[in-house]
Chain A
Amino acid sequence: MSERMERRAVISGAAQSEVGRRLYRTGIDLTVEAALRAVEDAGLTTADIDGVSTYPGFGGSFGGAMGAELHEALRLSLNWRSAGVETAGPLGAVHNAILGVATGLARHVLVFRTVVEGSGGPLRPGSGGGGGGGMAGSAGPFQFMIPYGAASAACWVACYARRHMHDYGTTRTQLGAIAVNGRANAVANPKAIYTDPMTIDDYLAVRMVSDPLCLYDCDVPCDGSTAVVVSHRDYAPDAPAGAVGVNAMGTAIRGRPSWDQFDDLTSMMMRHTAASMWERTELTVDDVDTAQLYDGFSWLTLAWIEAMGFCGKGESGAFVEGGVNIGPDGSVPLNTSGGQLSAGRLHGFGHLHEAVMQLRGAANIQVPGCEVVAVGAGGGPETGCLLLTKGPS
């Protein structure tokens, strides 16, 4: 296979700030903490950083800090900066950093995603959590859902989950395996929000939110920042913690870019996004040692499992039931740091951070001999993914 441009990039550093339910710290404060740790982790100084990339950046109502704020806070001198919400989900910030490095615009790009949704207050009326809806109304596509009280992504994802159950016989007990698996793994993560043991019976007994999604199907808002440094692969031998290779990235948005008008009510855009990733690599799903798949809502993880090809279409419920396949000793250890359901809504970057730790052999629940990790983040029309390797690809 001809050289893929993303293979010119590696992840040389990764770090997180303090993470908590409500920290009452500013977004830029958390961002600086994560960024400085990531730069140090990469064996660099801020003078080496010549690029910044973030999601969602200015105008993103659910962002914790702008790229320009970090630029200013650390007095960086940049050749290139990029921030935006119209990407392949939150990992779009990583895709953009890879593009910046691969095209030679920058050599070391600091990438971050900061959330202050824990102390930022409860979901505001009509704020369209997770989907970027408007406040009291929205002239965009959300105008067709907000007037009906469907103000949260929970309502929209619940509709897909219901149809998946209807068409494929997926059960709540199967869906609950995602939450139970996440909780079991979160126990080993010192930054996780929820670590009390959870059984499937606990899951089935908790209150409904948007039926068929219950409280434990919804991730927990938190405060925290995750930062990674994307560097040119030439730097890999000098990365003190070991460089993680970018084997392939998935960015495709081939269907209608919509939460409500996507052609298939049992899958979402990740179906195309994951397919586009596999089109860019000689590796296959059988090579994946662990998967870090977005669980903003548990059903999104089922959709990612099918999109990635760990099982066939409609088979994800049976695949995860009982948690054996997705447990630490299973065929595809899943969300090994607890995911967002238990470790906090770091918006895909908790999954990314865990992927890097797994490939370094430094995870709290380490998958032995881990060499390939699939990371997928986002839901609805905003999905992106990465196939990462131990060392440059």
Chain B
Amino acid sequence: MTGGSWLCLLAPLAGTILILVGGSWIPRVVAAWIATISVFVAFGGAIWAFLSVHNQQYTGCLNGTCRGELTTAWTWLAAGHFSVPLQLLVDPLSTMMMLIVSGVGGLIVLYSIGYMDGDEEERRYFAYISFFVFSMLLLVEGGNLLMLLVGWGLVGLSSYLLIGFWHERPSAVAAAKKAFVMNAFGDATMALALFIVIAHTNSLSFGVLNVHFSSTQANLIALGLLGGAVAKSAQIPLQTWLPDAMEGPTPVSALIHAATMVTAGVYLIARTSPIFEQARTIELMAAGLGALTLLVAGLIALVQTDIKRVIAYSTMSQIGYMFVGVGVGGYANGMFHLMTHAFFKALLFMTAGLAIHALANEQDIRKMRGLGRVMPFTKWCFLAGALALVGIPPFAGFFSKDPIIASTLNIGWYGYVFYACGIAGAFLTGLYTFRLWFLVFPGEPSPFVREHYHDHNGREGAWTMLVPVGILAVLATIGGWIQFPPHWDPITKWLAPVAPSLADAVPSSTQETVTSIVSVLVGLAGIAVAWAVYSERKIAIPAVPSVRRILENKFYFDWLYDRIFYAPGVWLANVLRREFEEPVVLQTGTDLGETTLAAGGIVRRLQTGLLRTYVLLLAAGAAGVVLAFLIAK
């Protein structure tokens, strides 16, 4: 059991080190395969760990671990009675995340081989991406809160490195910086939460979260953890970095900013659910932020023209659903949606990558009309992902999204608000997803497509790109069939020892059925409206300039943060430079130098250069000393 977890964690790290140490001694293609194979080895380790957890005899709870095993390598930090071991936790929740991260990650790294082929700095890319997989696995396997925080910080770092991978583009560098700063804010609030935990329990193991905290402490801890989750998962109010992060290479967007890292917030809430259950208000706040984000992101996605940004906003919106799911206490629902979302969102990004790659890096959907005629494989795979995203049966999203919406019905009046948001979000999802579809794929190819389309040896891309897309298209189609509540719920049962869903969050059969029907109908309505507006042009796009302006400015969040944080920061820095640095810091050095020079100018006259003067002074001095001694005696 423990062997699988260590293998899973260390294989990508070994890949990174090999590529970095090898440097230009190893050919580019070898570096790419080292990264790919290391991640697939990690997937093998994850399967090993999964099977051993699956076959383990249930023996009751120990140290907060009810199923699975905590393995300790050594004591990492020790200060007095407080110590943090370097340990990994293998339990149902972490094995599920390990399988998703290394499985989808392996496919995306394989896809990168074709996508990044010919880039100047391929080796650096593959070193970074396997380092990211290592960090993400550390995050999900970490056996205590500090290990989790370390992984949390490292994924932020690798995300920064990969967003800014094309470092000669100023926009990429700015986007990387923005992502890093916003994530650092979340890291800081998480660290503060951990300090409170240490102060109260003198420990950081996951088990201590079951201890009873006072209400204030529980609220503060949960709030700090929520801050981290919100920053990492790009939820309001820390959401503005995610769309900009699309400056990175497309496989990076698929892996980090869709399938794995941005969903870490959902994992965090599921993992630390005992503390969130003690602070129910904060947990519902998470659901509220999720509901707000899913609406806001869905609306903004309607007016975006960059293919990757549309998908990025849809990612924010889907993570909003997951937050609603875990926020109302249905941890299994949230985690199940995380899994299916990893499949279909990675698929959507990778098909978008195929299109971008074949069209000489063009990302503007207004130029892409009729792409389906020249890229049929891409077209059908994208359609599978789009239907899964909208939640049309039998595609994956149908099985995972509807239970989340239904689970909000029993928790009180705010549950109905979340429910309404979820249903409205389903309509928006259908609308923006199929806006993208109708603008890009059907119809006659546009002149731009005719002119710029170039295939790859007669196919739509290298085989390393097409195979992962095909596999994910299959997963996006059938991946949801492993759970169909309330009749068939292996994932809920699997996660029950770690994060049992609250009783409130289990909808009745009727609620489930009605919700499924309503949300599918609403999703279809969204598709129909998209068809009427963007394909047939029967309905003109409603021209409300003010609304359009608000949406195109993304609800002015960036503008607001500029005014509140950036502009005062710059103003303060300028004032300090003018009033303090220039007169005090810079001037002090010059003044010191000038004073010393002046003093030296006086003393230098003593140095005549005449030997005899020196001797005379010496003799006079000696005589003076002798005289002084004689008198003193």
Q: A and B from one assembly?
A: no
Interfacial residues, chain B to chain A (CB-CB below 8 A): none
